[in-house]
């Protein structure tokens, strides 16, 4: 008698890091933010992570979500840890200490903590017509 074959893991392959970054950048939203400060020392080891994240936030599509949001980049020379400080509209502050994080980790956490606060427009949902069963069959 043969043993049944069990599947382990996923059935499809992961599309990779670049597609995961693209997915997270599509979800970026600046509506609940008032200001974002990026501070890094270019001579430290993990400064490239913050520089890459700055590029994602400065995209025109992301900036158009809140034109009043101020994005500020501070380049320092004191061997300090790279930090991203997000000041929200409701006067709360979120600090990302990015010394041991990747760009994907930062974007996922930002979307989890900040972009999830954006309210979906109900007017867009109400514009869809309601179909009856007979109209759905046609």
Beta strands 33-40 and 70-75 are parallel
- Residues 41, 46, 47, 53, Cα dihedral to 10°: -140
110 - beta bridge partners?
A: none
> Quick one: tokens of 79?
């061997």
**pTM score over 0.85:** no
pLDDT in tens, the chain (138 residues): 666 666 665 666 667 888 999 999 999 999 999 999 999 999 998 899 999 999 999 999 999 999 999 999 999 999 999 999 999 999 999 999 999 999 999 999 999 999 888 877 644 455 567 777 777 666
Pick the closest to residue 75 from 97, 106, 51 (CA basis): 51
- Domains of the chain with CATH codes: 31-116 (3.40.30.10)
Beta strands 83-88 and 70-75 are unpaired
How is 86-109 classified by DSSP, letter by letter?
A: EEETTS-EEEEE-TT--HHHHHHH
């Amino acid at each position: 008698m043969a043993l049944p074959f069990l599947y382990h893991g996923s059935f499809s392959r992961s599309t990779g890091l670049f597609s995961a970054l693209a997915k997270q950048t599509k979800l970026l939203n600046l509506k609940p933010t008032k200001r974002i400060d990026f501070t890094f020392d270019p001579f430290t080891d993990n400064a490239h992570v913050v520089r890459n994240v700055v590029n994602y936030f400065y995209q025109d599509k992301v900036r158009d979500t809140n034109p009043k949001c101020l994005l500020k980049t501070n380049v320092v020379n004191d061997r300090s840890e790279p930090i991203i400080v997000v000041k929200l509209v409701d006067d709360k502050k979120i600090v990302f200490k990015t010394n041991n994080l990747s760009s994907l980790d930062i974007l996922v956490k930002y979307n989890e903590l900040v972009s999830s606060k954006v309210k979906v427009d109900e007017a867009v949902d109400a514009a869809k017509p309601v179909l009856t069963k007979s109209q759905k069959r046609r």
